[in-house]
């Protein structure tokens, strides 16, 4: 929302959607995170310059136990509908024990030269933390989501001795 100073009257707004995806690798201490911005609509006093001259910026952010790697991209440009933006951050974490938390995100903000301070307060995507470890001896260290339980489906047609029909009562979720 854009406010008129000093009375605080709302004079405009931009409705937008931000999406983000983290791609982990169980065999590596590197991961990537994407950031996608799309404006949905603009509202306000005939969508004046205090809204229509607004830009959006974003940059990869290390939150816990990581480093932003070279090749990461940032965005900057019009925050209006019809101008989607995407960026990718590449991250790594140092080996720091048997098991440790790591977390990355994107910091983004809006700017307009007509605003009193010129830039908004920064916002941060808040992804779930993942863990990186070398808890399995003999395997490379890697990163996974702690809350995701691995599943192995073996079709009966591939291995009749390993796969067997299980009644609903024996399945866990």
Q: Is the pTM of this model over 0.85?
A: no
Cβ partners under 8 Å of residue 20, min gap 6: 33, 34, 35, 36, 105, 106, 125, 127
Query: Which tokens belong to 139?
Result: 């395997």
CA pair distance 159, 164, nearest whole angstrom? 9
The reported pLDDT for the residue numbered 20 is 93
Q: Which residues of 109-138 are buried (b: 16+ CB within 10 A; e: fewer)?
A: ebbbeebeeeebeeeebebeebbbbbeeee
The reported pLDDT for the residue numbered 1 is 55
Q: What is the pLDDT along the chain (173 residues), one digit of tens a residue?
A: 565 555 666 777 889 999 999 999 888 899 999 999 999 998 876 557 778 889 999 999 998 889 999 999 999 999 999 999 999 999 998 876 677 888 899 999 999 988 888 899 999 997 777 888 877 667 788 888 877 777 777 776 665 555 555 555 555 54
Least Cα distance to 50 among 118, 130, 104, 145 occurs for 118
The reported pLDDT for the residue numbered 86 is 96
- Label residue 170 exposed, middle or buried (CB < 10 Å: 0-12, 13-18, 19+): exposed
Domain ranges of the chain: 2-149
The reported pLDDT for the residue numbered 96 is 66
Q: Which CATH architecture has domain 2-149?
A: Sandwich (2.60)
Backbone angles phi, psi at 140, to 5 degrees: -65, 150
The reported pLDDT for the residue numbered 2 is 61
The reported pLDDT for the residue numbered 101 is 84
The reported pLDDT for the residue numbered 144 is 85
């Amino acid at each position: 929302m854009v406010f008129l100073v000093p009375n605080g009257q709302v004079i405009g707004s931009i409705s937008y959607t931000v999406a983000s995806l983290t791609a982990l690798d169980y065999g590596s201490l590197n991961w990537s995170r994407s950031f996608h911005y799309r404006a949905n609509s603009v509202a306000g006093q005939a969508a004046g310059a205090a809204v229509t001259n607004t830009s959006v910026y974003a940059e990869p952010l290390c939150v816990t136990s990581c480093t932003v790697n070279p090749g990461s991209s940032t965005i900057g440009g019009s925050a209006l509908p019809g101008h989607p933006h995407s960026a990718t951050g590449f991250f790594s974490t140092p080996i720091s024990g048997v098991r440790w938390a790591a977390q990355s995100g994107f910091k983004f903000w809006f700017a307009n030269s007509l605003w009193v301070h010129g830039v908004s307060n920064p916002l941060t995507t808040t992804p779930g933390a993942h863990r990186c470890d070398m808890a399995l001896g003999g395997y490379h260290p890697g990163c996974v989501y702690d809350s995701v339980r691995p599943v192995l489906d073996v079709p009966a047609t591939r291995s009749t001795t390993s796969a067997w029909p299980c009644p609903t009562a024996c399945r866990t979720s």
